[in-house]
Amino acid sequence: MQELICDVNTVFSTYSGELGKVETELLNLFNSSALMIPSIGGHVVRSGGKRLRPLFLVLSAELCDYRGHPRIILASVIEAIHTASLLHDDVVDSAELRRGRPTAHSVWGNQVVVLVGDFLYSNALRIAVHQENQKIMEALSEATARMTEGELLQLSRIGDPEIKEGEYLQIISAKTGTLISAACRIGAILGNKERRYEEALSRFGMKTGMAFQMMDDILDYMAVESRLGKRPGKDLEEGKITMPLIYLLQVCNKEEKWEVKEIVTGMGVDKRSDDSLARLGFLFQKYNIIEESMNRAQGLVQEAKEALEVFASSPASEALFCLADYALFRSS
pLDDT in tens, 118-174: 999 999 999 999 999 999 999 999 999 999 999 999 999 999 999 999 999 999 999
Predicted confidence at residue 93, as pLDDT, reads 83
Among the listed residues 223, 228, 229, the one whose alpha carbon sits nearest the alpha carbon of residue 242? 223
Mean pLDDT of the chain: 91
Predicted confidence at residue 226, as pLDDT, reads 36
2 pLDDT band, cuts 50/70/90, is very low
User: What average pLDDT does the segment 37-42 reach?
Assistant: 93
Question: Measured between alpha carbons, how far is residue 317 from residues 98, 189, 221, 329 in Å?
Answer: 31, 17, 32, 19
pLDDT in tens, 131-144: 999 999 999 999 99
Predicted confidence at residue 53, as pLDDT, reads 97
Predicted confidence at residue 40, as pLDDT, reads 92
Predicted confidence at residue 275, as pLDDT, reads 83
CA distance 28 to 17: 17
**CATH fold group of domain 8-329:** Farnesyl Diphosphate Synthase (1.10.600)
Q: Is the pLDDT of residue 232 over 80?
A: no
Query: Among the residues of the chain, which ranges form H helices?
Result: 8-14, 16-28, 36-45, 52-63, 70-93, 104-108, 110-129, 134-156, 165-172, 178-190, 195-219, 225-228, 234-237, 243-251, 254-265, 274-286, 289-307, 315-329
User: What average pLDDT does the segment 188-203 reach?
Assistant: 97
pLDDT in tens, 6-20: 789 999 999 999 999
Q: Is the pLDDT of residue 230 over 60?
A: no
Identify whether the C-beta of residue 183 lies closer than 8 Å to the C-beta of residue 53: yes
Among the listed residues 117, 112, 114, 86, the one whose alpha carbon sits nearest the alpha carbon of residue 101? 86
Predicted confidence at residue 238, as pLDDT, reads 86
Predicted confidence at residue 228, as pLDDT, reads 45
Q: Tell me the whole-structure pTM to 2 decimals.
A: 0.93
Structural domain boundaries in the chain: 8-329
